[in-house]
Structure 1
Amino acid sequence: MTILDHAVIWHVYPLGATGAPIRDWQGTEGAQAHRLPRLINWLDYAVELGCDTLLLAPIFSSDSHGYDTLDYFRIDPRLGDEEDFLALADACRDRGINLLLDGVFNHVSINHPMVADNGPIKRDDAGQPVGWEGHGDLVELDHSDPRTVDLVAEVMEYWLARGIAGWRLDVAYAVPVAFWAAVTDRVRQNYPNVLFLGEIIHGDYLGLINDGHLDTVTQYELWKAIWSSIKEVNFWELAHAIGRHDEFIAGGHMQTFVGNHDVDRIASVVGDAGAAVAATILLTLPGVPSIYYGDEQAFRGAKAEGFATDDPLRPALPEYPNQLAEQGGWMHDLHRELIGMRRRHGWLTRARVEALEKTNETLHYAVTENEHRLDVRISLAPEVSVELTFDDGESLRHSW
């Protein structure tokens, strides 16, 4: 058995969640602070929600949003230092929480010392660093350079030695699969149980797992179908995506989600009732579900404009969970109920799924594994409702 056989992930963006400044913070009084330990206050909340895995967005030294790394071996000074990290890692271990870190190994900040020191940076014919997707402040690593394999493996093992369970690999789809295979194979020699989660939006999901030697990848196809089907009242789209999802699940673990640090909050897209339906779908389908912090409280947030485009998606949390507004309590209760049912039926992770009946407004799908079965019926009209029935007699029905 691996982590993925039972994982329910709580995904947090630490710079935002702890209220750290994002841009133009260097030299600003109070910008550097020991903020990371604030997340310790939220670990019991995550456990009570039903999550056993904490996925942290970038925590390493960076220029601004964390995806522009300056030093892979240093905690971002806006979050604190390595002692703060070790305190968080210890607190996770004490609670049985698996800790995953976000590794941005496709690109670094243009201000990373490697750029000026002739490090393994991709360069054009004129010798200039190659920017990533038009971002002048980000430059690509040269994944054909053996030094890059050495660097990434060293970084991974450094933090694995300090208590983490694995890595999310940012924009894994943009990196050659042979590079991932070389790195993961090397790291597994010393850490055979390490978990690798690859980010992929479009492309060959199972190819990245099989050829890149990863354990799981982000199921963006399903994410899109969930919110779009609810918003457009078109469950035919979700039924088709469920068929595709079943094919993917047969070949490997899929990380499923309805929200993350890069997309509009589900409640902002489909409303509260729609977000409740989305949570039900997420937590009843096969896969490794990930809850983006605040979605379990019906947080709102949509992309903005300019340099601050993602800020509304990455808000600060209060210092303690009991300081949350009461309005999101019902969504929190729903998530606890659904995750609890999932915990009691652990076979859901690697089950098969089939859409049985569908109209624009209604969908019935069955999730099965050997003798086990779950029937899920969803309606968007004339009322918004969900009905779950397990073969062991456990059931649930809600309407909004």
Structure 2
Amino acid sequence: MKTKIIIYQIFTRLFGNRKTTRKEWGTLAENGVGKMNDIQSAQLRQMRRLGITHVWYTGIIRHATDTDYTQFGIPSQNPQVVKGIAGSPYAIVDYYDVDPDLAVSVPDRMSEFEALVARTHDAGLKVIIDFVPNHVARQYHSICKPADIEDLGESDDTGKHFDPQNNFYYCPGETLDTSGFNSQHPTVGAQQQYFERPAKCTGNDRFDSHPQQNDWYETVKLNYGIDYTDAGGRSYHYDPTPNTWKKMTEILLFWAGKGIDGFRCDMAEMVPHEFWEYATNIVKQIYPNIIFIGEVYDTNQYKTYVASGFDYLYDKVGMYDCLRAVTCHQRPASSITHEWQLTDDIGSHMLYFLENHDEQRLASDFFAGNGMKGIPALIVATMLKSNPMMVYAGQEFGERAMDKEGFSGRDGRTTIFDYWTVESLYHGYWNRGGMTPTEHRLEEKYAKILSLANKEKAISEGQTFDLMYVNGSSEIFSPQTEYAFMRKYHNEVLFIVVNFADSEAHSEVRIPVHAFDFLHLPEKQVEAIDLLSGETQRFDLKKDGSLPVDVSAYSGRIYKFNIMNDNQYVLNTHNKDEFPPAHTAEHLLNQLMIRMFGCQRSNNAHIERKKSKISYIVDHKPSRKEEKMIEDEMNRLIQLDMPVTYEFVDRNHIPEGVSLSKLPDDASETIRLVRIGDYDVCPCLGKHVRSTSQIGRFVLLGTNWDEQTHNFRIRFKVIQ
């Protein structure tokens, strides 16, 4: 089965930080820092529940920082060439070392990284890290390189501006002019001025000794055999193989040997594609399953970099810019069609996203101002094609990033330069009781949408048919704010409509003859289920006919139907009017009794608002101590605030351990499973709360024991 890659980007230094000081320009001691050891099995399972397949740990390799680690033999950095107190993760000072900020025990930082990789794999997730190939920090010096590896610049001829075998570019006889930039660091004035002679050329292709404030002044450009200032223009010197090619390939092999599964390659287009062809070929011969993701913004070079060994490329100037503009009502929804068509021949190689560390947060005042407004774009980015999708940690909680952290400032981005705590992540992973109802609702929507990516083969493997070309502006459809398409795999079809508007859409979507021919659809009536809401609807499939659909503001419909079996996705009716908190407590209690006593789920329960009764067959009469343990453990589970989610499966795809024995004989082929975190899953059509903290407090009112039948009856209530 083909897996659709769903990447979760974590800025590792911020992710696990639970110190809430948040002092502007705060030091590590003042503001705290997240550690690799903060990311344990519970957090990784939460990512899995979100639908994630790969975790991108941003900022693993040691970079320039103003934090002093000299007691551990780590050289200090001059703050004049460090952005922020924490420093940029893209100003690498040692390609063979791990950032000491991330370690509980600094001398054991590499071992802690290796343990993080193992934990991530044990959780069923794959690991991606950054590879920064274009530039390094001005004070680059490796203290952790293998003994047989020569350091970058160690054998350079610094008397030349360019030499094919140099690792850096130089300005011979010139001292670096630092007057044009200001790190804004509050302590720089008291520090010794940074001195560099001969001056190295700056990372953003600035080939003189006078970098300015808007340059990447804290970095120096690596030399891959291109003379950018040759008298005749740019010239290329690739034979013999440049020394930098060999050294950078060794670095890739070093990290691949740590068991990682992929590299996100920073500013890949600023490094010649000939190097990438050379390096990826060598790495993939040894590690054939490793993936390379390239940050490439020049659309004219997409095909070149794919041919050079990249598995996936950022689709920033195409799909990201388009979805952002549509979300902000600056472009019509119909323009999405144009964007995917531009890269259709390499569409499987394009990485879609709505946020990353470089971009403004969707919920910030600089973008949409509200995470819910991004749901239509999320559905499109996740489901339009089978290519990868990326989510930035905190996006699923509506992180606004409107803090003024220090160097970063209030810009709608989560800082990569400062020590800080991201409030939404703190609540979402460490203090779920502090989450707002809006954060809960948004997380639930993200989990449903992202999880479908690999539950539905129509998304991970199926064909796509864009319906926009036959759905022009009319009274019953608005291409300005609505977007519609279909996905199909074998006999399963998804009919997807999203609404970017701030009001409900009552639409009719035309299905052209070509869709019937391309997707091999029959003309017939089908029963469809909306995978987001569980609502069902009958559609009359006719060539050039229309399908009626109502879509709430900033939302979408994902209707699924089977073209071979009319009743495949019809659920049984359910007329009970349960009290959702008590009904959810029943699920928790069932699983708790299974784990404590090895019994089966209850088959005799009366769940009501005021008080409920539920019975179990157990092998002995529970003691008073065990009864108290039941009540205490129930309240502990409730306080964990585990999400309550749904999924729809057919009888052939029931997870291991889930019994259907209590379903009625006439139960439908489609089963709704209710999951409470990773704790419990069972088939159910009832009403539930969104997360366990909404149950309230569980109170055990009393018990009864029947010695003859070993029936143990519990009376309980929940207090809101």
- 2:350 aligns with 254
Q: C-alpha distance in 2, partners of 1:22/1:111?
A: 28
Structure 1, 183-192 or 319-328: larger mean CA deviation = 319-328
Q: Does 1:242 align with 2:340?
A: yes
Decide whether aligned partners of structure 1 residues 74 and 30 sit closer, same or farther in structure 2, where only a CA change above 3 A counts: farther
Q: C-alpha distance in 1, partners of 2:349/2:492?
A: 19
Q: Does 1:377 align with 2:497?
A: yes
CA contact (8 A) 1:107 1:138 kept: yes
Q: CA deviation at 1:390?
A: 2.8
CA contact (8 A) 2:25 2:407 kept: no
Q: What's the secondary structure of 2:284's corresponding residue?
A: helix
Identify which of 213, 217, 230 aligns with 2:313: 217
Write the letter of the residue equivalent to 2:389.
P
- 1:159 aligns with 255
CA contact (8 A) 2:277 2:309 kept: yes
Which stretches in structure 1 are left out of the alignment for 5+ residues?
A: none
Q: Which has the higher contact order (CA 8 A, sep 6+)?
A: 1
Q: CA deviation at 1:306?
A: 8.2
- 2:218 aligns with 137
Q: Does 1:110 align with 2:210?
A: no
Decide whether aligned partners of structure 1 residues 33 and 354 sit closer, same or farther in structure 2, where only a CA change above 3 A counts: closer
- 1:295 aligns with 395
Decide whether aligned partners of structure 1 residues 129 and 58 sit closer, same or farther in structure 2, where only a CA change above 3 A counts: same
Q: CA deviation at 1:147?
A: 2.2
CA contact (8 A) 1:31 1:78 kept: no
Q: Between the two proteins, what is the percent identity of the paired residues?
A: 19
Decide whether aligned partners of structure 1 residues 117 and 203 sit closer, same or farther in structure 2, where only a CA change above 3 A counts: same
Q: Does 1:318 align with 2:318?
A: no
- 1:85 aligns with 113
CA contact (8 A) 2:16 2:33 kept: no
Q: C-alpha distance in 2, partners of 1:186/1:23?
A: 45
Q: Does 1:389 align with 2:572?
A: no
Write the letter of the residue equivalent to 2:329.
E
Structure 1, 94-103 or 305-314: larger mean CA deviation = 305-314
Q: C-alpha distance in 2, partners of 1:49/1:364?
A: 24
Q: CA deviation at 1:284?
A: 1.3
Q: CA deviation at 1:208?
A: 4.0
* Higher fraction of helix: 1
Decide whether aligned partners of structure 1 residues 246 and 353 sit closer, same or farther in structure 2, where only a CA change above 3 A counts: farther
Write the letter of the residue equivalent to 1:122.
F
Write the letter of the residue equivalent to 1:131.
T
CA deviation vs aligned residue, 1:178-215 (integer Å, no higher than 9, x gap): 11110001111211111111111232364244332111
CA contact (8 A) 2:224 2:271 kept: yes
Identify which of 69, 86, 99 aligns with 2:92: 69
Structure 1, 381-390 or 367-376: larger mean CA deviation = 367-376
- 1:366 aligns with 486
Q: What's the secondary structure of 1:333's corresponding residue?
A: helix
Q: Does 1:275 align with 2:393?
A: no
Q: C-alpha distance in 2, partners of 1:239/1:96?
A: 34
Matches within 5 A, 1:175-254: 175-204=271-300, 206-220=302-316, 221-232=318-329, 234-249=332-347, 252-254=348-350
Runs of 4+ in 1 over 4 A off after TM superposition: 20-26, 28-34, 302-306, 309-312, 368-372, 393-396
Q: What's the secondary structure of 2:494's corresponding residue?
A: strand
- 2:466 aligns with 354
CA contact (8 A) 1:209 1:215 kept: no
Q: C-alpha distance in 2, partners of 1:14/1:253?
A: 26
Q: Does 1:171 align with 2:282?
A: no
Decide whether aligned partners of structure 1 residues 156 and 116 sit closer, same or farther in structure 2, where only a CA change above 3 A counts: closer
Write the letter of the residue equivalent to 1:318.
Y
Q: Does 1:7 align with 2:177?
A: no
Q: CA deviation at 1:382?
A: 3.1
Q: C-alpha distance in 1, partners of 2:486/2:301?
A: 23
Output the aligned Cα RMSD: 3.2
Write the letter of the residue equivalent to 2:322.
A
Q: CA deviation at 1:365?
A: 2.2
Structure 1, 320-329 or 281-290: larger mean CA deviation = 320-329
Q: C-alpha distance in 2, partners of 1:25/1:67?
A: 20
Larger radius of gyration: 2
CA contact (8 A) 1:264 1:302 kept: no
CA contact (8 A) 1:23 1:65 kept: no
Q: CA deviation at 1:253?
A: 2.1
CA contact (8 A) 1:107 1:139 kept: yes
Q: How many residues align?
A: 391
Structure 1, 55-64 or 227-236: larger mean CA deviation = 227-236
Q: Does 1:99 align with 2:166?
A: no
CA deviation vs aligned residue, 1:136-168 (integer Å, no higher than 9, x gap): 211111112622222222212212222211111
Decide whether aligned partners of structure 1 residues 231 and 288 sit closer, same or farther in structure 2, where only a CA change above 3 A counts: same
CA contact (8 A) 1:246 1:353 kept: no
CA contact (8 A) 2:15 2:34 kept: no
Decide whether aligned partners of structure 1 residues 346 and 253 sit closer, same or farther in structure 2, where only a CA change above 3 A counts: farther
- 2:532 aligns with none
Decide whether aligned partners of structure 1 residues 326 and 305 sit closer, same or farther in structure 2, where only a CA change above 3 A counts: closer
Structure 1, 341-350 or 103-112: larger mean CA deviation = 341-350
Q: CA deviation at 1:94?
A: 1.0
Structure 2 length-normalised TM: 0.50
Q: C-alpha distance in 2, partners of 1:311/1:118?
A: 43
Q: CA deviation at 1:95?
A: 1.2
Q: CA deviation at 1:322?
A: 4.5
CA contact (8 A) 1:13 1:58 kept: yes
Q: CA deviation at 1:372?
A: 5.1
- 2:244 aligns with 148
